Structure 1
Amino acid sequence: MGGIAIIGEPGRVTGYALAGVTVHEAADPAAVRQAWSELIPGTAMVILTPAAATHLSAETASTALLVAVMPQ
Structure 2
Amino acid sequence: MQVIKTIREIREAVYTARQAGKAVALVPTMGALHEGHGHLIERARRASETVVVSIFVNPLQFGPGEDYGRYPRT
TM-score norm. by structure 1 comes to 0.28
Work out which of the two has the higher radius of gyration on C-alpha atoms and give 1 or 2. Answer: 2
TM-score, normalised relative to structure 2: 0.28
The structure richer in strand per residue is 1
